[in-house]
Structure 1
Amino acid sequence: MSETERIVAEEGAQLDFSRDMSYGDYLHLDEILNAQQPLSQSHDELLFIVQHQTSELWMKLLLHELEAAIDCVRRDELSPAFKMLARVTRIMEQLVSAWTVLSTMTPPEYSAMRPYLANSSGFQSAQYRCIEFALGNKNAAMLKPHAHKPDLYARVETAWRSPSIYDETLKLMARRGLNVPASHLERDWTQPYQADAGVEAAWLEVYRDPEHHWELYQLGEKLTDLEDAFRLWRFRHVTTVERIIGLKRGTGGTGGVSYLRKMLEVVLFPEIWQLRTDL
């Protein structure tokens, strides 16, 4: 018996999984590790596939946490919402890091596999669209890429029609006695959020007396953390794309870098950022 085998035996580790569930069984690793099916002969296509598949897994968890946080805010249960939103921010940091790995792909390496992508693009990610909608960046046109799959379309449409995390936050502030304009408490949730001086005034009241409004103050900072991380994700996205394809059009038909740069201008929680100037 080798030294390693002796140590394993002494520790009592289980080695026979002919009848019991193993690590691989629990995680369905056979299915996951066989889900990478490169279409080209390019060595680098596996990197491209794995980066996007793992990002989709992180987005699945992000949505799980974000949707639960929205529900907690709706029910005035802020303590668990804070934990969930903190986790969402950490997940976003993982998504930011993923671009660093993809940035090792050079333009010639991407060009070798690009024809095999056809019109497929991350722009068409249903999970990403649900995240955008849950954060308040509503756009009806973004439903169309999912029309060919009724189940996905229904999920994205539900996110589009539902109040965002910021909408639910404003309703919570009103329930806590702050003077939030009625126009921002009952509106068409499918429309993009519009900044309002009355909403900023309500946030200023919170930030000028954080001890009295401690939970709302903390919620404002959690949302700031989240948008901060999301901005970094968007920035790393556009930088990585420009590094790899320059100013070429994206495979999904967008302008590529030009489209992504426009997304950098979107502010999700505008009054929370503006109040920092006006405090």
Structure 2
Amino acid sequence: MTNENKPYDPAKEGAQMSFDGRMSYGDYLQIDKILDAQKPLSTAHDEMLFIIQHQTSELWMRLAIHELIAARNALRNDDLAPAFKMLARVARIFEQLNSAWDVLRTMTPSEYTEFRNTLGQSSGFQSQQYRQVEYILGNRNKAMLKPHAHKPHIHQLLDDELNQPSLYDEALRLLNRNGVDVPNEILTRDVREQHQPSSDVENAWKIVYQDTSKYWTLYELAEKLVDFEDYFRRWRFNHVTTVERIIGFKRGTGGTGGVSYLRRMLEVELFPELWHVRTQL
């Protein structure tokens, strides 16, 4: 038997192989907890897919929240290079989330029906992290606090988020600090309320786009925001098509209209003036 055919032993090259009293890969990542978190309530084969797809999405959203909060703080402090890196990362997180729908779409209506009744009234629109993402970005529908009233600490976390300027609010304040006037009523508005599209804000972004050499940093910020919302919109669209493919036009388990509810969400614009200004250019 030649040396080439002998099993490779990493220990001979110094790899650590004994972890008694040492932190291993599984210890650091708490793999036991993660792998013990899947608790199917039926014997249906595809329930495991359904659980893991949603759990991994929640993990990616946790990272998105981490990055978005840091990006917002960076914009607030005029620290733009890190903010741009974080926004680019969040866009790629949502690219990853988009790919997850491709896996879930391998489940057919017949397979979903085998365990759908076990979900009770649970539904994705009740995701506290998704709601936090939307609130950070500026989609501040206060009615969506209600599904979290039974968990006071979560309700408080989301309510506290409503008291802070959104990511887009901070972008507009940055715009104003850098010589592109934004109306005072926009800058001092009640941040708990939904931002309403403004022709004055649209004209402010128009100034940036028409003189990119002068306002390069603001131009880069604008495109980072558009890039992110582009991925976010695709995620919403893929959500709609996945749901329609699996349950058609049935009502959602949480009582929403299902596809009709999700299609309504497609109309929500996070950074409206950045899209509207393109018509003027």
Within 1, Cα distance between the matches of 2:242 and 2:195? Answer: 29
Within 2, Cα distance between the matches of 1:144 and 1:162? Answer: 19
Within 2, Cα distance between the matches of 1:3 and 1:27? Answer: 32
CA contact (8 A) 1:206 1:217 kept: yes
Three-state SS of the structure 1 residue aligned to 2:114 is helix
Instruction: Give runs of aligned pairs for residues 182-261 of structure 1, distance below 5 A.
Output: 182-261=184-263
CA contact (8 A) 1:130 1:160 kept: no
Q: Which residue of 1 aligns with 2:23?
A: 21
Aligned residue pairs: how many?
A: 278
- Determine what percentage of the aligned residue pairs are the same residue: 61
Q: State the Cα deviation string for residues 195-222 of structure 1 (Å, max 9, x = none).
A: 1111111111111111111111000000
- Relative to the length of structure 2, the TM-score reads 0.97
Q: State the Cα deviation string for residues 24-45 of structure 1 (Å, max 9, x = none).
A: 0000000000100000010000
Q: State the Cα deviation string for residues 174-212 of structure 1 (Å, max 9, x = none).
A: 111211011110111111111111111111111111111
* Cα root mean square deviation, aligned: 1.1
Q: State the Cα deviation string for residues 160-184 of structure 1 (Å, max 9, x = none).
A: 2221111111111111121101111
Within 2, Cα distance between the matches of 1:142 and 1:42? Answer: 32
Q: Which residue of 2 aligns with 1:61?
A: 63
- Relative to the length of structure 1, the TM-score reads 0.98
Within 2, Cα distance between the matches of 1:22 and 1:266? Answer: 45
Q: Which residue of 1 aligns with 2:153?
A: 151
Matched, 1:105 2:82: no
Structure 1 gaps, min length 5:
none
Q: State the Cα deviation string for residues 57-86 of structure 1 (Å, max 9, x = none).
A: 000000000010000001111000000000
Q: Which residue of 2 aligns with 1:137?
A: 139
Deviation at 1:159, TM superposition (A): 1.8
Within 2, Cα distance between the matches of 1:35 and 1:26? Answer: 17
Matched, 1:77 2:114: no
Q: Which residue of 2 aligns with 1:120?
A: 122
Q: Which residue of 2 aligns with 1:273?
A: 275
Deviation at 1:94, TM superposition (A): 0.6
Structure 1 ranges of 4+ moved more than 4 A: none
Within 2, Cα distance between the matches of 1:60 and 1:3? Answer: 44
